[in-house]
Amino acid sequence: MNPARNLILVGPMGAGKTCIGRRLAGHYGLRLVDADHEIERHTGTTIATIFECEGEAGFRARERSMLETLLRDDGLLLATGGGAVLDPDNRELLRMRGFVVHLRATPAQQLERLRHDRSRPLLARPDREAVLHEMAATRDPLYAEVADLAFDTDTLGAADAARRLQHELDRHWQRTGATA
C-alpha cells in the first residue's frame, strides 16, 4: 500500500511520468492528476502557447500555483512537468506532500521517445540532444534532492516499467513498515 498522502512522479521529459502514472494510479486507488494537463485545462490553451505568450517565466508561475492548488488534496497520483523541480518552493512542497519517485531516463532514450513530439516548447529547436544534456546536468541533482526512490526506465517499455515500479514501491513500503 501507499503510506504517503500522495504519490508524486518527477523526472525529465519522456521519462514516463504521464504514461506510467496513468498505469499506477488505478492500482493504488489514487486519483491521477497531470500538472501539465491541469494547466492546459485551466488556461484553455496549450503549454506551447503559454510559452509563446508569457515566456518560460510565465509558465513556471502557473506551474507553481497549480502544484500548490493540487497538493492541497490527498490521495493523488501526481505526474509533474519535467521542470517542476527547478523552483525551490516546489521542491519543498513536493517533499512535504507525498512520496516522490524520480523516474530516470538518459538523454539518448529521451531523444528516441520524443522523436516525433512537437508539443514540448523547450525541445522545439534543432540541438535537442545538447539541450537534453544541459537539462540533465542542471536538473538531475534536483530530482535526486526531492526523491524518496529512483527508478530507471531506459531499458523497459511503459507497461513493464509500471509493473516493476509497482513491485519496487510495494517492497520499499513493506521494508519501511507500511502495512497493507
Ligand X SMILES: Nc1ncnc2c1ncn2[C@@H]1O[C@H](COP(=O)(O)OP(=O)(O)OP(=O)(O)O)[C@@H](O)[C@H]1O
Q: Which residues are annotated as a binding site?
A: 14-19, 36, 60, 82, 120, 139
Using the minimum distance from each CB to ligand SKM, give the nearer residue, 33 or 47: 47
Tell me if 157 contacts ligand X by CB under 6 A.
yes
Q: Which of 130, 123, 25 is nearest to 77 (CA)?
A: 25
By CB under 5 A, the residues from 18 to 47 that bind Mg ion are 18
By CB under 6 A, the residues from 92 to 121 that bind ligand X are 113, 120
Mark residues 22-51: x for contact with ligand X by CB under 6 A, - for none.
Answer: --------------x---------------
The Cβ-side half-sphere exposure at 178, using a 13 Å CA radius, reads 13
Give the DSSP letter string of the chain: ---SS-EEEE-STTSSHHHHHHHHHHHHT-EEEEHHHHHHHHHTS-HHHHHHHHHHHHHHHHHHHHHHHHTTSSSEEEE--TTGGGSHHHHHHHHHHSEEEEEE--HHHHHHHTTT----GGG-STTHHHHHHHHHHHHHHHHHHH-SEEEE-TTS-HHHHHHHHHHHHHHHHHHTT---
Using the minimum distance from each CB to ligand X, give the nearer residue, 154 or 170: 154
Using the minimum distance from each CB to ligand SKM, give the nearer residue, 14 or 98: 14
Using the minimum distance from each CB to ligand X, give the nearer residue, 90 or 153: 153
Partner in contact with 14, chosen from ligand SKM, ligand X, Mg ion, none, beta carbon below 5 to 8 Å by kind: ligand X
**Single residue of 19, 48, 61, 136 touching ligand X by CB under 6 A:** 19
Partner in contact with 157, chosen from Mg ion, ligand SKM, ligand X, none, beta carbon below 5 to 8 Å by kind: ligand X
For residue 152, give every residue at least 6 positions away whose Cβ sits within 8 Å of its Cβ, in sequence order, or none: 104, 105
Binding residues vs Mg ion (CB under 5 A): 17-18
Binding residues vs ligand X (CB under 6 A): 11, 13-19, 36, 79, 81-82, 113, 120, 153, 156-158, 161
Binding residues vs ligand SKM (CB under 6 A): 13, 36, 47, 81-83, 120-122
